[in-house]
Structure 1
Amino acid sequence: MKNLKPAAACVGTLLSASLAVIGTGCSSGNTPNATTTNTDTTEQIITAPSTVATPLPPVAKKVPKELTTHGHTRTDNYYWLNQREDPEVINYLNAENAYTKQMLAHTEELQEKLYNEIVGRIKQNDESVPFKDNGYWYYTRFEAGMEYPIYARKKGTLQAPEEVMVDANERAQGLNYYAAAGMNVSPNNQLLAFAEDTVSRRKYTIRFKDLKTGKLLPDHIPNTTGGAVWANDNKTVYYTMKDPALRSFKIFKHTLGTPSSQDKEVYHEADETFSTFVYKTKSDKYIIIGSGSTVANEYRYLDASNPNGAFKVIQPRERGLEYSIDHFGDKFYIVTNKDGATNFKLMQAPVTNPGKANWKDVIPHRPDVLLEGIEIFKDYLALQERKNGLTQIRVTKWNDPKTDYYIDFGEETYAASIGNNPDFDSKELRYEYSSLTTPNSTYDFNMQTKEKELLKRQEVVGGFDPTRYEARRIYATADDGTKIPISLVYRKGLERHGNNPTLLYAYGSYGISMNPSFSSVRLSLLDRGFVYAIAHIRGGQEMGRQWYEDGKMLKKKNTFTDFIDASEFLIEQKYTNPDKLFAMGGSAGGLLMGAVINMRPELYKGVIAGVPFVDVVTTMLDTSIPLTTGEFDEWGNPAEKQYYDYMLSYSPYDNIQAKAYPNMLVTTGLHDSQVQYWEPAKWVAKLRDMKTDDNMLLLHTNMEAGHGGASGRFQRYRETALQYAFLLNLINQHQ
């Protein structure tokens, strides 16, 4: 499915600290496993009288740095933590990790139990539902005990011999981190382009494999986004290069058999607020180069059979004009907000003259329905829409559009999306479905007969019974009268006596909707009496495009107050109480956590902030930091005083006060390309210096991973087990 726009990434900041001034500590006379390269400091950390019962936390040194903007000066005592290569910084992060390990040492048995529970529900030998493309069936499978997928295909039928394209387990041998991406087979089915990241900075090297001989070609292209798009000559590929700030800024053309240093630049996105990308239309007719910012798009097209030709612009960029395109027949199909279509509409234009003057409505704008994307087939058009916070899939026939209909899902709260549909001629629409109580399911829906076939439902090993759980949707009321949806799931029979442990999760940025989908991991909390809740706060797009507009820029604080209102509503409705309510968010959702605890810390027993974007002003003023320039239309540009003042009023790092804060677990990755590791490290250092409580404040840094955490199928759940043990420990539940 072609998305409305590429999902925006979240931004990052600076980090570091020093062991030279880290306090001593011990754990009831036991020696902690401190890891450091500073011998003197290590002795200081691990040597202490056995009478000390509680470890003392690391204390980062203060190196005042004055930051002046618009005549206003801020003093940042921990700015020095952004020196990634400084051994003092690494020592500090290692000391924080050692402290976290000490503080949660008594939960290690529980952590192991939780980890075994979580991975024990995962089917060891598993396989994705195959999809057909250009005469082959493609699928991904896992083997028991292995961390990484095997990418394979079969020719013609599923009974044909398997051809392994890439075994990621073999490629990952000897590496601390490995991610494969961008599997793309040439039109003649003989060559594979794929990409690898071995650092977790999302900088991929593209490689090529001869699928007939099984040998890798000598060609390799570093520093890319990972995708490679084949022209129809089976020897030319287009790819996207990243700049030093990790912005996707140039498109190059590579010819197999030549060194990448000779690749030709075909497009340079000079505007630092835009990023560029390249793809091929489902019809295989055109190569498309797109450029996008938060509020504008521009596309170029080239006949895929003429790789030496020149790209032509479909519609030049205009601020406020958003659009995405696909191709069918002699027309481009355009999802756009043109003419004030806040929730987007579908238009068409002739390939021969595709400028906006020739755009004509196909599906008009509807104020109560958000058009999220389309899927084009030879005879049918499928539309992914969102109404009242829930996704709908609508099907219409090209030659009889009046016979359109919606697929019936039959649940109160659920998540659905159009799946992988590369076969242009198919009458089968593949879609994905789940709910808070229904495991992830893949269906094929016959658009002609309206019959649907369940191809696969995620198997939850160990006898999962969905009837034991209940899902609901309730609505909190914000101060301005807005109804905030909350999706809930819990064990059936739960009593609303105000004493249930409850974990409230939210994101609330970039127009990204948090769908109420299934998680087998979550069962470890539900089976221990937890209520799990998702607050569909403004800043997402659950209730339409305006929902996003009302939670960004100079309305960003709606995101935070919506979460607080949802928290208070759960308490008022006697699901929980402030001594049993926990909050969780990651990345921009980590910003949410930081803002909320500054505003209403007394509402929460504990908070988990994953890779949190918490130093908003400093980051957004530093355009050398990855992804910053493309974020100005999400948060505002603090170079303008209006936005500087507004950001400063909510930036979590800048608004820490000398007061009590909840128990906190903060996680990050040393190689994070989106929220730089130093943001959470600085935040923790400043919180520890200023807070007045004795609650836990823990920082866990994955020294080998980035924004997405550990690679591998199972290892990522070590951190989940740590997080769950942190929560359960706070309610004295150790089983």
Structure 2
Amino acid sequence: MKYLVASALALTLATACSGEADKPTNTSSAKDSMRTAEIKYPETRQGTVVDTYFNTEITDPYRWLEDDRSPETEAWVKAQNEVTFAHLDQIPYREQIRERLSTLWNYEKISAPFQEGDYTYFYKNDGLQNQYVVYRQKGDGEPEVFLDPNTFSEDGTTSLAQLSFSKDGSIAAYSISEGGSDWRKIILIDVETKEQLEPELVDVKFTGIEWFGNEGFYYSSYDKPEGSELSAKTDQHKLYYHKLGTDQADDPVIFGGTEADKHRYVGADVTEDDRFLFISAANSTSGNKLFMRDLSKPDSELVTILDHTDSDTSVLANRGTTLYLSTNLDAPNERVVSVDAGAPQVANWQDFIAETEHVLSPATGAGYIFAEYMVDAIAQIKQYNYEGELVRDVTLPGVGSIGGFSGKQEDEVIYYTFTNYNTPQTIYSFAPESGESSVYAESGAKFNSDNYVSKQVFYTSKDGTKVPMIITHKKGLELDGSNPTILYGYGGFNISLTPSFSITNAVWLEMGGVYAVANLRGGGEYGKEWHDAGTQLNKQNVFDDFIAAAEHLIAEDYTSSDKLAVRGGSNGGLLVGAVMTQRPELFAVALPAVGVLDMLRYHTFTAGAGWAYDYGTSAQSEEMFKYILGYSPVHNVEEGVTYPATLITTGDHDDRVVPAHSFKFAAELQAKASKETPQLIRIETNAGHGAGTPVSKTIEQYADIFGFTLFHMGVEELPELN
């Protein structure tokens, strides 16, 4: 069984340390002068690179910043951070925010338990530990530390990425990420002695650890690229099998070793009974082929289930030779089908759980299938047996998001989590036979949910589309247009933003802030059609949806342009970069994090070419090139425009969205924007795209982000935070 470190345990944005500086005189005039004082940015050399796209010449003066190994780039990063932190050091309440983040964060957090062999395992963080610790206990015995990632590195930047056990639970394989990189190492240990069994596997990327019995496991990786491993293109993913006791160099390629089966993303699943291996192969983040091998038959042939990438299809479970697949083929909102493994092709599929008007995300455990439906971004659960009968509509604790409802087929209890924007995560145990839920672990967060309210609204976008948004704030908020507000969005890659609690947002709410999350097109909230409506030549819909969300918040007097910040990370960083260049007057502050910002060249770095389903590429056609050029943030910064006060954040080890995107955007803004607002970049060193970021760095970063945001909204002082 495999266990990814839960996303609830892994924060997504990189951060940095900062010291406290002398505070300025506490007067309005002093603060105003600090806000408007012209910043002397580091000099950024302009090169002479010119690219030609369909007979159109595009200058790229900051191409040299793409070289992450260059001493010149290193010096530029250092100089930019010096300027940025000198500005942040002037913010009088930055330390107050940091202290409150630390205080509120400091409570014990645990995960749901899971059984492997003779032990029950769980993750726990005592409060401010940089990384969650894996504990185990046998029966009613005392829990003991099994793995402590806080010991992996002195600064806490090496994290546990995945933990997977052999079928009998006697061997554990875990992967680590160093400095936030997507390149991983896999380490094998004996669970009783905790001793390492053999040399670590190195240079693996975008992989699961999929055990076949106790003999070995499947994993995926690319050949190490020439040039920088953090930015060079990775193109052909391969599936390997590692047999215990053998050298990694001898691991056979199971799939992906030839031009005929060349794909950017290859993954494996082995059924719980070790009967079948399934291989998913894709060239983009949407759509996959699917293959199968019967592992009970030596040297069995690979059978094709799907030979095209027109759908997202995966295997849920098997009962003997009956397979249960989750798919959006001919079902944009997803369905579950069953088919016999002897003839698993599409023509033989039978609807098991038919498509409905709501998006389906199924999971299995305890001998049942749990169908999670997303109804306007809110979770509902239906429980089915393997005869296809509805057992019950599961009663949930409230209106919000759930995680879990999955496990092994022999489990007698299922665990799930419940949360929303103003309710800290609570873990529940669920008895599948009776349908009863019980609190397993309440949150220890010192946050009074009764003082806050979340409200879902539907607003109208530019083309008339109704878009949902959830707005959270203190009860009794006066709608007078004066409230500091962060509008958050993503809008891509079929990812759904569902209500969830975070300590950072709790501190923002405590400070009197409004937090609004818009469910934009491009996401998965309403299925494949909603996703496709925000991709390629429809990408502007995403930006229009976000702009309309901002206009709604202003029209309803939640806030005003002077008190409104926009925030998003990764694809959401592109979102922020696009709307701040299209409507700079609409926002006071822009916070693009680890963003995809050079849209003409994103596909030339690491695995970026796999994002083409959502974006298209500048090389695809002249029409696509011109469309992308029309919104690419790096290419739409105009001379003399007053842009929102901007704090770009990135990590120097980000090999998902390389930091050159952020570097080039910062350079363009600093060279061209008016001097009325700061255009700064905060570059975390020894940090990646976000997963595994130490708690200490996260706290420092959010103190900087919130401090910068409030400072450039003209906030003079904070309310008492407790």
TM-score, normalised by the number of residues in structure 2: 0.89
Does the 8 Å contact 1:612/1:679 carry over to 2? yes
Q: SS state of the match for residue 617, structure 1?
A: coil
Equivalents in 2 of 1:231, 1:533: separation in Å?
45
The SS at the match of 1:616 is coil
Match of 1:334 in 2: 325
Whole-Å separation in 2 of the counterparts to 1:355 and 1:602: 54
Counterpart of 1:301 (choices 292, 302, 312) is: 292
1:467 equivalent to 2:446? Answer no
1:397-436 equivalences in 2 (<5 Å)? 397-399=385-387, 401-411=389-399, 414-419=400-405, 421-436=406-421
Cα 1:597–1:673 shift into 2, 3 Å? same
Preserved contact between residue 285 and residue 305 of structure 1 (Cα < 8 Å):
yes
Q: Would the alpha carbon gap of residues 469 and 236 (structure 1) be closer, same or farther in structure 2, given more than 3 Å must change?
A: same
Q: Using the alignment, how far apart are the partners of 1:68 and 1:189 within structure 2?
A: 57
| 3-state SS of paired residue (2:199) | strand
Alignment correspondent of 1:655: 636
1:46 corresponds to: none
1:727 aligns with 2:703: no
- Partner of 2:687, secondary structure, is coil
1:213 aligns with 2:193: yes
In structure 2, how many angstroms separate the alpha carbons of the residues matched to 1:29 and 1:54?
19
Deviation at 1:276, TM superposition (A): 0.5
Alignment deviations for residues 657-715 of structure 1 (CA, whole Å, 9 cap, x no partner): 12111100001111111111111111111111111241011111112111117732332
Alpha-carbon distance, 1:344 to partner: 1.7
CA distance in 2 between counterparts of 1:579 and 1:296 reads 42
Q: How far apart are residue 424 of structure 1 and its match? A: 0.8
SS in 1 for 2:80: helix
Counterparts of 1:672-711 in structure 2 under 5 Å? Answer: 672-708=654-690, 711=693
Aligned positions of 1:494-643 closer than 5 A: 494-620=477-603, 622=604, 625-639=605-619, 640-643=621-624
Matched position secondary structure for 1:217 = coil
Whichever residue aligns with residue 218 of structure 1, its letter is: E
Pairing partner for 1:321 from 311, 334, 338: 311
Quote the offset at 1:544 in angstroms.
2.8
Q: Find the counterpart in structure 1 of residue 177 from structure 2.
A: 197
2:246 aligned partner, one-letter code: T
SS at match of 1:727: helix
Q: Match for residue 139 of structure 1? A: 122
The answer to whether the Cα contact below 8 Å between 1:585 and 1:608 also exists between their aligned partners in 2 is: yes
Name 2:31's counterpart in structure 1: none
- Residues 458/286 of structure 1: CA separation in 2 closer, same or farther (3 Å cut): farther
**2:292 partner amino acid:** Y
The 5 Å alignment of 1:237-252 reads 237-243=217-223, 244=225, 245-246=233-234, 249-252=237-240
CA contact (8 A) 1:389 1:542 kept: yes
SS at match of 2:105: coil
Q: Tell me how far apart the structure 2 counterparts of residues 690 and 487 of structure 1 sit (CA, whole Å).
A: 35
Specify the SS of the correspondent of 2:517. strand
- Residues 398-449 of structure 1 show CA distances to partners (whole Å, capped at 9, x for unaligned) of 34715442434433xx222334x33312353322211112111221222332
SS at match of 1:521: helix
Contact 2:2 2:209 in 1 (8 A): no
2:257 aligned with 1:266: no
2:626 to 626, 645, 651: 645
Superposed CA deviations along residues 457-497 of structure 1, whole A, max 9, x for unmatched, are 22113xx2111001101111112211111101111110111
Are the equivalent residues in 1 in contact too, given 2:352–2:388 (CA < 8 A)? no
SS across alignment from 1:721: helix
Q: Which runs of 5+ in 1 are unaligned?
A: 8-26, 31-51
Displacement, 1:303? 4.6
How far, CA to CA, are the matches of 1:248 and 1:182 in structure 2? 22
Q: For 1:657 and 1:596, how far apart are their aligned partners in 2?
A: 14
Distance change (3 Å), C-alpha of 1:279 and 1:113: farther
Residue in 2 aligned with 1:93?
A: 77
What corresponds to 2:475 in structure 1? 492
Task: Say if 1:403 and 1:227 are closer, same or farther in 2 by CA, change over 3 A.
Answer: closer
> Which residues in structure 2 correspond to 1:51-450 (within 5 Å)?
55-107=39-91, 110-143=93-126, 146-155=129-138, 157=139, 159-173=140-154, 177-225=157-205, 227-232=208-213, 234-243=214-223, 244=225, 245-246=233-234, 249-268=237-256, 270=259, 274-292=264-282, 293-303=284-294, 309-310=299-300, 312-329=302-319, 330-338=321-329, 340-366=330-356, 368-378=357-367, 380-399=368-387, 401-411=389-399, 414-419=400-405, 421-450=406-435
Q: Deviations over 1:540-594 (max 9, x none)?
A: 1113322111111110000000000010011100111111111111111111111
How much does 1:248 deviate? 6.7
**CA 1:120–1:272: 2 relative to 1, 3 Å:** farther
Bigger mean CA deviation after superposition, 696-705 or 125-134: 125-134
Give 1:78 shift. 0.8
CA separation in 2, counterparts of 1:410 and 1:146?
Answer: 30
1:199 and 1:479 map into 2 onto residues whose CA distance is 42
Q: What is the Cα deviation at residue 645 of structure 1? A: 1.4
Aligned position for 1:713: 695
Instruction: Give the match's secondary structure for 1:653.
Output: helix
Residues 354/144 of structure 1: CA separation in 2 closer, same or farther (3 Å cut): same
SS at match of 1:532: strand
TM-score (norm 1): 0.87
Deviation at 1:79?
0.9
2: CA distance, partners of 1:183 / 1:2: 6
CA distance in 1, matches of 2:77, 2:387: 62
Where structure 2 has 5 or more consecutive residues not aligned to the other structure, the ranges are: 8-20, 25-35, 226-232
Question: What percent identity do the matched residue pairs reach?
Answer: 27
- Alignment partners' CA distance in 1, 2:459 and 2:23: 49
Change (3 A) 1:311 1:300: farther
Measure, in 2, the Cα distance between the counterparts of 1:248 and 1:390: 37
- The residue type paired with residue 597 of structure 2 is V
Partner Cα distance (1:199, 1:503) in 2:
29
Shift of 1:513: 0.8
Q: Deviations over 1:71-123 (max 9, x none)?
A: 1110111111111121111111111100011112122x633322221121234
Identify which of 443, 451, 459 aligns with 2:436: 451
In 1, are the aligned partners of 2:404 and 2:415 still within 8 Å (CA)?
yes
Cα deviation, 1:257-310, whole Å, max 9, x if unaligned, reads: 22211111111165666410123334444333221334432223345566x644
Rounded to whole Å, the distance in 2 between the matches of 1:217 and 1:332 is 35
Return 629-638 or 552-561, whichever deviates more. 629-638
- Residues in 2 aligned to 1:327 and 1:709: alpha-carbon distance in whole angstroms: 29
1:644 & 1:696 partners in 2: Cα distance? 31
Q: Which amino acid aligns with 2:254?
A: V
Q: Give the structure, 1 or 2, with the largest relative contact order (CA under 8 Å, sep 6 or more).
A: 2
Please list the CA deviations of residues 14-39 of structure 1 after superposition, one character each: whole Å capped at 9, or x if unmatched. Answer: xxxxxxxxxxxxx9999xxxxxxxxx
How far apart are 1:176 and its partner, in Å? 6.2
- Whole-Å separation in 2 of the counterparts to 1:88 and 1:687: 20
Aligned position for 1:41: none
For residues 287 and 144 of structure 2, the distance between their equivalents in structure 1, rounded to whole angstroms, comes to 42
Give how far 1:389 is off.
2.8
Q: Report the secondary structure of 2:600's partner residue.
A: helix
Relative to structure 1, the CA distance from residue 356 to residue 134 in structure 2 (aligned partners, 3 Å threshold; closer, same or farther) is farther
- 3-state SS of 1:567 partner: helix
1:400 & 1:668 partners in 2: Cα distance? 47
